[in-house]
């Protein structure tokens, strides 16, 4: 389940199929990129790419047999672990917590400093009486900050409320990760706040969280 939260409070709660029908929910769609590097160059590029790939393939040598056997054994152990793990499917299994949050009246300078201190790139924005009202990331901050090297020099006093994404799509703790991935792709957002039924913030799922789960937990399956 997904919900939409903004400065006027929660304005939507429902499934992905219903979320898609909400006007403006996917306004931040990105243009479709080329599926493969060089695809726009046509069949000639594909022929060259295949030839180069064949030339770069490592040549098998008999002396490599022990190394290949060790790799195969390690792969087999990964497929059949001694202690099978439950497949990762839901937001609560991969979300980051505790969550760095910002107040809507915090300055851009405060947000930039806190991102650096915590090593994060986005944070939900909260209002005391409303809960989540938006999401701000480095991308939004960089639209107003003047940088000299890595040092911000201008645009620092503006409040976060002027640059945050609002309203913002949020997910329930038991939302399927595959559906979260779909919303991240279609909205261009870098993360989704995770809220409980009462609208309270309980975590955040970023693209990085999903990628880490893919690397660390083979049972995860991300098909849409």
pTM exceeds 0.75, yes or no? no
Q: Which of 159, 166, 128 is nearest to 144 (CA)?
A: 159
175 φ, ψ to 5°? -70, 135
**Domains in the chain, ordered, with CATH?**
2-32+89-216 (3.10.580.10), 39-79 (no CATH)
For 179-212, write each residue's pLDDT tens digit.
Answer: 999 999 999 999 999 999 999 999 999 999 988 8
Percent above pLDDT 90 for the chain: 50
> What is the rounded distance in angstroms from the CA atom of residue 126 to the CA atom of residue 89?
27
């Amino acid at each position: 389940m997904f919900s939409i939260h903004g400065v006027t409070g929660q304005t939507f709660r429902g499934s992905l199929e219903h979320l898609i029908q909400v006007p403006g929910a996917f306004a931040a769609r990105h243009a479709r990129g080329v599926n493969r590097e060089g695809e726009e160059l046509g069949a000639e590029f594909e022929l060259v790419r295949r030839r180069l790939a064949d030339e770069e393939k490592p040549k098998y040598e008999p002396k490599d047999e022990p190394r290949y056997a060790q790799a195969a054994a390690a792969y087999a152990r990964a497929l059949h672990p001694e202690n099978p793990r439950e497949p990762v499917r839901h937001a609560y299994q991969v979300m980051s917590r505790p969550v760095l949050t910002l107040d809507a009246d915090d300055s851009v300078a405060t947000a930039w400093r806190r991102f650096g201190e915590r090593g994060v790139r986005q944070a939900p924005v909260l209002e005391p009486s409303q809960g989540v009202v938006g999401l701000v990331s480095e991308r939004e901050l960089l639209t107003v900050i003047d940088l000299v090297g890595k040092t911000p020099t201008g645009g620092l006093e503006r409040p976060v409320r002027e640059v945050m994404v609002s309203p913002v799509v949020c997910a329930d703790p038991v939302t399927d990760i595959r559906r979260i991935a779909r919303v991240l792709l279609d909205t261009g957002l870098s993360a989704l706040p995770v809220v409980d039924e009462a609208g309270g913030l309980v975590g955040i799922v970023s693209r990085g969280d999903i990628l880490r789960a893919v690397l660390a937990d083979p049972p995860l399956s991300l098909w849409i």
